[in-house]
Amino acid sequence: MAERDVYRFKQDKNDKKNTTIIIGVLLVLIVVVGAFLLFILFQKPANGDVTSDNSTIIDDDVSDISNDTNDTMICDDPCKYINVLESGNSSGCDEIMTNDLKQDCYEYFANISFSACTALEDKKKKEKCITHFAIDAGDVSICELLEDDVTTCKEKVFSCANSADKDLCYAIRDNDPSNCGQSDLCLLNYSVIKSDPASCDLISDISMSTGCNAVVGNTDKCVHLPGKTQRDMCYEIFAIYSNSMLTCTQISPDSIYAITCFSEFAVRMHDLSICNRTELVLNSRWDCFTNYAFGSGDITGCSAIDMLASTARFNCAFEFAKKYGDPSACDIIQRMGARDTCYQGAILYSNENLNPDNCHKVNDFNWKNKCYSEAAKVQDDESICDRIDTDYAREACHIAYDVYQTNKED
């Protein structure tokens, strides 16, 4: 048998070198992968920091960064103040620790937030906003939150400064009839407004007290009074305060109480014919017409007085002219001399109410121009002279006004 040939190859030096490199690379990879696996296996949860695989990690560098961030996020008092103002929510003022800044915050919201207003320490500022809320609510009890100036606050809420009857105003405001003092009329008005029979009993006049109780109780108590005058006065009060004209008929005909009673309803109803009722005789009707004219501002009341009743007609026109600043009321007076006297009194002497808007209604040419001239002085307004149509009269008005001003300065 033929012997098999055996081939042997000689290893090259380069081949040995390549093999060594490959083995080295594999060893390095094994070490790196092993180190990575060991790193993962030996990680332990810490500080509740959860990873995506539900394990926890500790990272000192990350923790330090987080703490630094929290430190920079802290909002101090000026920061809080600005945030509260921007938010418009006054409750945030309470979180400010610096008192001056906190008070500034409260002041900013004082007129829109009641709690911010009441938290103010400055008395003047607190008084201002408390009064504002009291007026807005129409509630005087809010004023009680003030330490001082409670009365001033109440007066502003329920102002009595310009009231025709301040005592009555204060009595109503405070629910206290003692503010009326000894005034029976004040007590009568208070009792009716408050529907308070107990206050009626404080009235000293028996007729007024009984009439008051009749109104509050809405029942006739006047009939029990012994005297005729007492009953008449009682019925007048009962009628007027109960707004019942029919009750006027219970008053003795032609008494002063009947005149007052029917006059009152003539004015209220703007009905002059009420003065012609049979309960009033002729002369009483003149008085009723006059009362109607003064109460309603309607000159037809004076015109309704018979021209033969010259005194009554003159007095009505003259008093009307003075009260309403309207000298044209004098035109209803027939006798020229009496009419000029009326003009003179209303335009030259008792002219504090003289109204230039009424001058054009005056029939007499000279008194019409005189009306404008005097009105310019009373109103301290020279331009009123320019309402005069005639040139020379208008110029005379300007001259008279200049003289008046010069004399006033001297």
Q: What is the Rg, in whole angstroms, of the alpha carbon atoms belonging to the chain?
A: 49
Does residue 180 contact residue 199 with C-beta atoms inside 8 Å? Answer: no
Spans of all domains in the chain: 325-410
Helix boundaries (H) for 175-309: 184-194, 197-200, 206-217, 228-242, 256-268, 282-296, 300-303
Share of the chain above pLDDT 70, in %: 82
The pLDDT tens digits for 225-237 are: 999 999 999 999 9
C-beta separation of 212 from 185 below 8 A: no
Q: What's the CA dihedral at 257, 259, 262, 266 to 10 degrees?
A: -140
CA–CA separation, 147 and 131 (whole Å): 13
Q: Indicate if the pLDDT at residue 258 is higher than 80.
A: yes
Tokens of 193: 């407004």
Selection from 271, 312, 274 nearest residue 290 by Cα = 312
Cα–Cα dist 117/145, whole Å: 11
**Confidence grade of residue 4 (pLDDT, cut at 50, 70, 90):** very low
Confidence at 63, pLDDT banded by 50, 70, 90: very low
Answer whether residue 350 shows pLDDT above 90.
yes
Long-range contacts of 82-91 (CB under 8 A, 24+ apart): 90/115, 90/116, 91/115
Average pLDDT over residues 135-156: 83
Q: Supply the pTM of this predicted model.
A: 0.64
Whole-number mean pLDDT of the chain? 86
